[in-house]
Amino acid sequence: MLENLLQTLGLSSLSLEGFGPLLLQGTWMTLKLSLLCLLVSVVLGLFGASAKLSKSMLLRVPAQAYTTLIRGVPDLVLMLLIFYSLQTWLSDVTTLMGWEHIEIDPFSAGVVTLGFIYGAYFTETFRGAILAVPRGQKEAAIAYGLSRTQCFFHVVFPQMMRFALPGIGNNWMVVLKATALVSIIGLADLVKAAVEAGKSTYQPFYFLLVAALIYLLITTVSNHVLKRLETFYSAGAREAVR
């Protein structure tokens, strides 16, 4: 598969030298990590946006502190802090309880860490999208007898997605590229696979170029999916304009 991609891009004279399976494994690991991080981030973002728009200070203040802290500290610093603090906390608990030592695996650590970090960005994306939905829409839904939950899923959510999708697409691209950071905590992602292949063959530039092309392919497919989603959620608005 990778050999065919290289041939299409005019790099058929070069070979993966047996590292194709390793790169494919790294690509699959990157995709799994990215999708799970996206899921965690979206869930945290929806809760965070609801909290920031809440009338209760007990919800607003922690949500504001969360987004301010996360967006003000570099991702790499946060990843190291969260990963090592979680491991230290878990080690302290197991020692205190007399349990066997538990080691956090890099994949779980990557999902939790990146999901927590980018949940703050999704919080702002969803908050802005919810505010963009006319208040009258929600008031009309409640007047018709819908519960607040029904109002959100049947009225607010479909409309807010039209405003949120550009931000969601941007956040997804950032999350996808940020997965490269997990190689520093030992996860065998695409970047780590490319680096190892480059060291073994003394062709680091070539294998990093291959990794860059794979990322480009994933982002191209992602852009296509996002455009389809934008078309789907904008269909009603476009018909209204006509």
pLDDT at 120: 93
* Domain annotation covers residue 239: no
User: Within a domain: residue 157?
Assistant: yes
Domain that holds residue 39: 2-11+18-234
CA angle (47, 50, 52) in 5-degree steps? 110
Whose CA is closest to 114, among 38, 54, 56? 38
Residue 93, domain member (yes or no): yes
| pTM of the complete model beyond 0.85 | no
Q: What residue spans of 133-156 are helical by DSSP H?
A: 135-143, 148-151
CATH number for 158: 1.10.3720.10
Angle among Cα 115, 224, 221 to the nearest 5 degrees reads 65
**pLDDT at residue 241, rounded to an integer:** 42
Q: Is residue 94, in this structure, part of any structural domain at all? A: yes
Quick check: 189 and 179 in contact, CB under 8 A?
yes
| pLDDT value of position 55 | 87
Instruction: Give pLDDT, residue 37.
Output: 93
pLDDT given at position 232: 82
Predicted pLDDT of residue 141:
81
- The predicted pLDDT at position 43 comes to 94
In a domain, 63, yes or no: yes
Count of domains for the chain: 1
Residue 240 lies in a domain: no
Q: How far apart are CA 232 and CA 227, in angstroms?
A: 9
Per-residue pLDDT in tens (0 to 9) along the chain, 242 residues: 555 555 554 444 346 677 788 888 889 999 999 999 999 999 999 999 999 998 889 999 999 999 998 888 888 888 788 777 777 777 777 777 777 777 777 788 888 888 999 999 999 999 999 888 888 887 788 888 888 788 887 888 888 888 898 999 999 999 998 888 887 777 778 888 888 888 888 888 888 888 889 999 999 999 999 898 888 877 666 554 44
**Would residue 136 count as lying in a domain?**
yes
Residue 241 lies in a domain: no
Nearest to 211, CA basis, from 38, 34, 6: 6
